[in-house]
Amino acid sequence: MSTSIERMYGTLGIDPKVLAFGREIEASLKERFEKIDNTAEYNQLKVLHAMQKNKVSEACLYPSSGYGYNDVGRDTLEAVYATAFRTESALVRPLIACGTHALAIAMAGNVRPGDEILSPVGKPYDTLEEVIGIRPSKGSLAEYGVTYRQVELLPDGSFDYEGIRAAINERTRLVEIQRSKGYLTRPTFSVAQIGELIAFIKSIKPDVICMVDNCYGEFVEEQEPSEVGADLIVGSLIKNPGGGLAPIGGYIAGKEEYVDNAAYRLTCPGLGKEVGASLGVSLPFFQGFFLAPTVTAGALKGAIFAANIYEKLGFAVTPDSTQERHDIIQAVQFGTPEGVIAFCQGIQAAAPVDSYVAPEPWAMPGYDSDVIMAAGAFVQGSSIELSADGPIKPPYTVYFQGGLTWEHARFGILMSLQKLCEAGIVKL
Ligand SMILES: *Cc1c(COP(=O)(O)O)cnc(C)c1O
């Protein structure tokens, strides 16, 4: 006799064997999921406290227009972010188009010609290469006379402290530390590790600005990098802190002077944070931030579930099935294009939007191979929603993240497994 849940999985196209395999894995993850729930509980209280302390009121949820002078929703929201992330100030705006834009204005606002930017953790996120000018690009910081240096991680993924010491010089003004591995194979750093790195850098040059690219890391731990010495933390609202509800946006939180400098770049010198109407987004920004701790927890459970499923089936997974998590990204190495494609088609088939289309690899601008992307999201490109992508090149790795609820993340992973079974790539 099957239960109503089993029958519903059947209706949605999941074989009993796939479900049984998933159930067995899930049963082994109870303790880890409890830890995630504890983190979410703490972070939920942290966000609620920030909202109460800053007296979020009904008036904060109304739209504004025009210049946005005295936009109480916008200003209160920024105070809420600052309280939650324990910073002096924050800039949280729909005018920030994406994470890259937030990072770009945080950097551009805080360096001047002749300054140098240092990445002590190897190559930064792809899109920052053109912002900094590592790859020549119109309007890059390099065109404004800002130079760049990077220190690679040691082969074991740890910081090259001696290399970093040697790279810091009288022109070093801003240090860019990417928390998440993004689409690289290096490990994601814990908040504690980032704290150690910042302490080391500040011991050599106390006035250098330490900026953390916090994308995909928010609410994964109880602390954020701003609590261990980061002068600025930066991220996207269509990832963790938007809670799936923010339709656009980015944030920069940190020391008031540095946040103001970024705001002078976002709008213009003299105006800074004073202008920029929030239009109608204050409500989803507040509500999304309120939900973000539990949404992030669901995505984390999905990532761990996927790691355990695919590791058990013999695929290489990063992080592995037992590793502690510092971001929500899960990589699975399939070793064949067919594996990557079947996985992504499963994620797409599990979506609430556009589930009936089958994604195909295509030549995306900016990539050196075809890329396949699965995203049936309410918000275009939102990667806190269930999503996956993979370049069609060796070692044929797919990157998976998100899920607004654990129930949906679980279903998406089961559907990916279903598609891999149907394609004959996996046999249960
Ligand atoms: C997503 C992301 C960014 C910014 O990307 P956008 O697509 O511009 O929002 C930057 N760094 C990391 C590590 C990211 O994951």
Residue type at 35 in one-letter notation? K
Q: Which domain holds residue 277?
A: 62-281
Q: Is residue 54 part of a domain?
A: no
User: Would you say the C-alpha torsion 170, 171, 173, 179 has a positive or negative sign?
Assistant: negative
Percent of the chain exceeding pLDDT 70 equals: 100
**CATH at residue 104:** 3.40.640.10
How far does residue 9's CA lie from ligand 1's centre (Å)? 34
Phi, psi for residue 253 in degrees, rounded to 5: -130, 145
Query: Which residues are CB-contacts of 379 (< 8 A; sequence separation ≥ 6)?
Result: 238, 244, 246, 247, 248, 385
Claim to verify: residue 329 and residue 271 sit in the same structural domain = no
Strands 316-318 and 330-333: antiparallel
Domain count of the chain?
A: 2
Q: What distance lies between CA 268 and its chain's CA centroid?
A: 27
Claim to verify: residue 66 and residue 206 sit in the same structural domain = yes
- Summarised one tens digit per residue, pLDDT across range 401-421 is 999 999 999 999 999 999 999
Compute the average pLDDT of residues 149-155.
97
Q: Determine the atom of ligand 1 nearest the C-alpha atom of 329.
A: 15
Claim to verify: residue 318 and residue 400 sit in the same structural domain = yes
Q: What distance lies between CA 388 and its chain's CA centroid?
A: 13
Phi, psi for residue 242 in degrees, rounded to 5: -80, -10
Q: Where are the beta strands (DSSP E) in 221-379?
A: 232-236, 250-254, 316-318, 330-333, 371-375
How far does residue 307's CA lie from ligand 1's centre (Å)? 22
Position 1 confidence tier, pLDDT thresholds 50, 70, 90 = low
Q: Is the pLDDT of residue 169 over 90?
A: yes
Which range (1-10, 137-146, 165-174, 352-361) has the least confidence? 1-10
Q: Is residue 51 part of a domain?
A: no
Claim to verify: residue 11 and residue 154 sit in the same structural domain = no
Residue with CA nearest ligand 1 atom 5: 99
Q: Is the pLDDT of residue 269 over 70?
A: yes
Q: Is the pLDDT of residue 279 over 70?
A: yes
Claim to verify: residue 311 and residue 232 sit in the same structural domain = no
| Secondary element (H or E) of residue 350 | none
Claim to verify: residue 18 and residue 99 sit in the same structural domain = no
**pLDDT, mean over the chain:** 96
Query: Which residues are CB-contacts of 16 (< 8 A; sequence separation ≥ 6)?
Result: 2, 6, 10
Position 189 confidence tier, pLDDT thresholds 50, 70, 90 = very high
Claim to verify: residue 242 and residue 329 sit in the same structural domain = no
How far does residue 299's CA lie from ligand 1's centre (Å)? 17
- Summarised one tens digit per residue, pLDDT across range 59-83 is 999 999 999 999 999 999 999 999 9
Position 368 confidence tier, pLDDT thresholds 50, 70, 90 = confident
Claim to verify: residue 355 and residue 397 sit in the same structural domain = yes
- Summarised one tens digit per residue, pLDDT across range 201-243 is 999 999 999 999 999 999 999 999 999 999 999 999 999 999 9
How far does residue 99's CA lie from ligand 1's centre (Å)? 5
**Helices marked H in 187-276:** 191-204, 256-266
Residue with CA nearest ligand 1 atom 9: 99
- Summarised one tens digit per residue, pLDDT across range 322-358 is 999 999 999 999 999 999 999 999 999 999 999 999 9
Q: Is the pLDDT of residue 366 over 70?
A: no
What residues flank ligand 1, with Cβ below 6 Å?
A: 98-100, 125, 127, 178, 180, 182, 213, 215-216, 236
Q: Is the pLDDT of residue 139 over 70?
A: yes
**CATH at residue 33:** 3.90.1150.60
Q: Which of 233, 250, 281 is the C-terminal boundary of a domain?
A: 281
Q: Which of 248, 281, 314 is the C-terminal boundary of a domain?
A: 281
Q: Determine the atom of ligand 1 nearest the C-alpha atom of 383.
A: 1
Q: Determine the atom of ligand 1 nearest the C-alpha atom of 180.
A: 13
Query: Which residues are CB-contacts of 380 (< 8 A; sequence separation ≥ 6)?
Result: none
Strands 330-333 and 397-401: antiparallel
Position 387 confidence tier, pLDDT thresholds 50, 70, 90 = very high
Q: Is the pLDDT of residue 185 over 90?
A: no
Claim to verify: residue 382 and residue 418 sit in the same structural domain = yes
Q: Which of 230, 246, 281 is the C-terminal boundary of a domain?
A: 281
